[in-house]
Amino acid sequence: MRLVTYNRAGEVRHGRLTEDDRVVEFGDGDLENYLTGRTGDPERLEVALADVELLAPLLRPGKLLAAAANYQDHVTETGGEPLDRSRLSPRLFLKPPTSIVGPGATIPLPSVSTEVDWEAELAVVIGRRVRDIAESDALDAVAGYMTSNDVSARTVDYGFPRDTDDRAVWFFDWLAGKWLDGFAPLGPWLVTADEVPDPQALSIHLDVNGVTRQAGSTKDMIFSVAELVAHASRLMTLEPGDVILTGTPSGVGAATGEFLTAGDVMTVVVGQLGQLRNTVA
């Protein structure tokens, strides 16, 4: 099933897409309710997809986690040493809900950086409350998957001199570069887990202005979806609607010194999860 959040007649609504791309509107309630079977009112009306404005499937998840350095070829393309998985744990960080935008939304270039980059990623949506879940059971806690783009500012300039050789300063600049408004496009819809039998067998593709920049596969993750979910649940309680971005393959702009400028159009496709397109403004 493809679940959608959208604007119809000035109101945020939720529904599911039919095979012929019509929206069957749910009753009242957040999309998180539908992930756990609490659907509230019955389905109401049916409208054409073209007649609604799609939004991010989850507008304000309780947690938006992301995995850094989860593809070996991405680590090495940006100058890092190959990672020894046997001596490594997943590297998770948080992005704020204000970074979330939906398909077709514009992404504003920030005032604090001129080096804004793309990162096509598979997004995982949690479907039930879990804590310390075993890796073998972790996929049972997944409600579905989305296409995502972990847009990133590679440098941060606050307009005054700083000691950027300090490792702590570098780390917090890197982290701040993930937090900016519009830097977490999600969508165009949420595909339920029953339609994705193997999340480690999905292609990942991103182009900028029609030119391919990233072409990878989720099979190349250092830590699988199940491992990421299990690890995150050791650190915090995961709840329905929480989102985990799972890392990006090689092909980012930082590897070649090419960054986004106003008017650029990014298009991300992950497996059969739908096309996510956003314009930089």
Tens of pLDDT, residues 193-227: 999 999 999 999 999 999 999 999 999 999 999 99
Kindly state the tokens that stand for 154. Answer: 């590679």
The model's pTM is 0.96
Classify each residue of 12-24 as buried b or exposed e, where b means 16 or more C-beta atoms within 10 Å of its C-beta.
Answer: ebbbbbeeeeebe
Bridge partner list, 149: 120
DSSP class of residue 28?
S
Token readout for 241 is 């609607």
Q: Is 210 left (phi over 0), alpha (psi -120 to 50) or beta?
A: left
Confidence of residue 36 (pLDDT cuts 50, 70, 90): confident
Percent of the chain with pLDDT over 70: 97
Q: pLDDT tier at 272 (50, 70, 90 boundaries)?
A: very high
Average pLDDT of the chain?
95
pLDDT at 40 over 60: no
pLDDT at 191 over 60: yes
The structure tokens listed for 75 are: 């680590």
Q: What confidence category does residue 38 fall into, taking pLDDT thresholds of 50, 70 and 90?
A: low
The pLDDT value recorded for residue 250 is 98
What is the C-alpha separation between 210 and 95, in angstroms, rounded? Answer: 28
Partners of residue 16 on adjacent β-strands: 3, 24
Residue 29 has pLDDT above 90, yes or no: no
Of 231, 221, 206, 238, which is closest to residue 142 (Cα–Cα)? 238
Say if residue 5's pLDDT is above 80: yes
What percent of the chain clears pLDDT 90, i.e. is strictly above it? 87
Q: How much is the average pLDDT of 228-243?
A: 98
Look at strands 11-17 and 2-8 and give their pairing.
antiparallel
pLDDT band for position 42 (50/70/90)?
low
